[in-house]
């Protein structure tokens, strides 16, 4: 075991591998990984790339990789596991995290930080947000396919780590409105399932109006649920968040001009849901579309579009399939 780490990456999937690889050398980083990923990293090392031309290769011998939760003791732990694994990770961290340890949940969904806080009383647990897409092109190869800065709940304890994140090319924005930021990110994450059902690269999918119309239906439903519950949504784009569904429904040429930043995506980028289905893993659809369905129930409403998308992804988990844009759009309109 290497000397005590400064930062632990708990969950070395696409996002965790990429964040840890970028931070490596700017801080002492330890990866907590499943046995198969640990073997891959030790054998092949890591290759880190992004759409802007960044390239870094790390030899396996340079990496501090463990499969044991007991190795997760560190001043800062970045949790990057899938939402379904959060309760187990919270329990494992409760036995090893130092009393003054900091945990940042860089996970999709709305409730992960709350789950971690409940299991780690007295510790500092912060919500975070990763705005960009990361794809594993091959074992040990992590590619950032879109842009944006990391965000985390503002807390004085993060101050000592800001320089390391900046030096790694991952500037960390501190926010005092993280619940609203997470809801805004969820609106964009509603495309994960649609992208997976399309079978297309993200940029190609978003360039086509009918696929965007599918996303617009899900977003409108989500925005209505947030409004019914009085839940604010942060603005993460130049346009107000409430305008997103109308923007998505624009004709292709007009959308390409107005929303060029949304199409600034590597041509090979895919969603994490597509990656999970391809690998035969369970998806996070219940933490995304399912979260909208659950919130709608709290508001005494229904969210049939998001419920139908979740059902289609669960069906694809059992039997892989793809849809055309026209087919999916018609299916979602019938569900309304």
134 plus 221 within the same structural domain: no
171 plus 122 within the same structural domain: yes
158 plus 20 within the same structural domain: yes
pLDDT (tens digit per residue) in 105-132: 999 999 999 999 999 999 999 999 999 9
* pLDDT for the residue 139: 87
* pLDDT for the residue 176: 96
155 plus 300 within the same structural domain: no
Find out whether 217 and 136 touch, Cβ atoms under 8 Å. Answer: no
Whether 2 is in a domain gets the answer no
Find out whether 217 and 336 touch, Cβ atoms under 8 Å. Answer: yes
126 plus 190 within the same structural domain: no
Domain that holds residue 107: 7-176
Whether 226 is in a domain gets the answer yes
Which stretches of the chain score pLDDT less than 50? none
Cβ atoms < 10 Å from Cβ of 53: 6
Walk across the sheet containing 76-79 and list its strands.
64-66, 29-32, 7-10, 76-79, 102-105, 124-129, 150-153, 172-175
Query: How many domains does the chain divide into?
Result: 2
Domain limit, last residue, from 141, 160, 176: 176
CATH number for the domain spanning 110: value is: 3.40.50.720
Q: Give the H or E element holding residue 137.
A: strand 134-138
DSSP annotation string for 277-334 = HHHT---SHHHHHHHHHHHHHHTT---HHHHHHHHHHHHHHHS-----HHHHHHHHHH
* pLDDT for the residue 138: 86
* pLDDT for the residue 32: 97
Domain limit, last residue, from 176, 206, 240: 176
* pLDDT for the residue 1: 58
């Amino acid at each position: 075991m290497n000397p005590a780490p400064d930062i632990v990456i708990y969950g070395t999937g696409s996002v965790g591998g990429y964040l840890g690889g970028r931070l490596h050398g700017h801080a002492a980083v330890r990866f907590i990984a499943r046995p198969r990923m640990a073997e891959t990293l030790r054998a092949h090392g890591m290759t880190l790339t992004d759409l802007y031309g960044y390239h870094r290769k790390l030899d396996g011998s340079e990496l501090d990789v463990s499969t044991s939760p007991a190795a997760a003791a560190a001043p800062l732990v970045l949790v990057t596991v899938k939402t379904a694994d959060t309760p187990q990770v919270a329990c494992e961290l409760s036995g090893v995290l130092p009393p003054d340890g900091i945990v940042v949940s860089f996970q999709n969904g709305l409730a992960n930080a709350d789950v971690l806080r409940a299991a780690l009383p007295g510790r500092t647990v912060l919500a975070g947000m990763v705005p960009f897409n990361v794809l594993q092109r091959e074992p040990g190869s992590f590619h950032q396919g879109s842009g944006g800065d990391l965000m985390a709940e503002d807390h004085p304890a993060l101050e000592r780590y800001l320089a390391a994140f900046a030096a790694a090319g991952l500037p960390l924005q501190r926010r005092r409105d993280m619940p609203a930021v997470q809801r805004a990110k969820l609106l964009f994450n509603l495309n994960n399932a649609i992208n997976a059902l399309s079978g297309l690269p993200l940029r190609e999918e978003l360039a086509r109006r009918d696929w965007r119309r599918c996303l617009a239906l899900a977003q409108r439903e989500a925005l209505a649920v947030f409004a019914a519950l009085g839940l604010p949504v942060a603005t993460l784009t130049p346009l107000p968040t409430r305008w997103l569904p109308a923007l998505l429904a624009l004709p292709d040429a007009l959308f390409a001009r107005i929303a060029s930043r949304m199409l600034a995506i590597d041509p090979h980028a895919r969603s994490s849901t597509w990656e999970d289905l391809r690998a035969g893993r369970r998806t996070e659809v219940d933490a995304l579309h399912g979260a909208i369905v659950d919130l709608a129930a709290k508001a005494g409403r229904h969210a049939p579009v998001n419920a139908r998308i979740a059902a289609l992804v669960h069906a694809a988990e059992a039997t892989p399939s793809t849809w055309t844009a026209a087919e999916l759009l018609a299916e979602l309109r019938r569900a309304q």
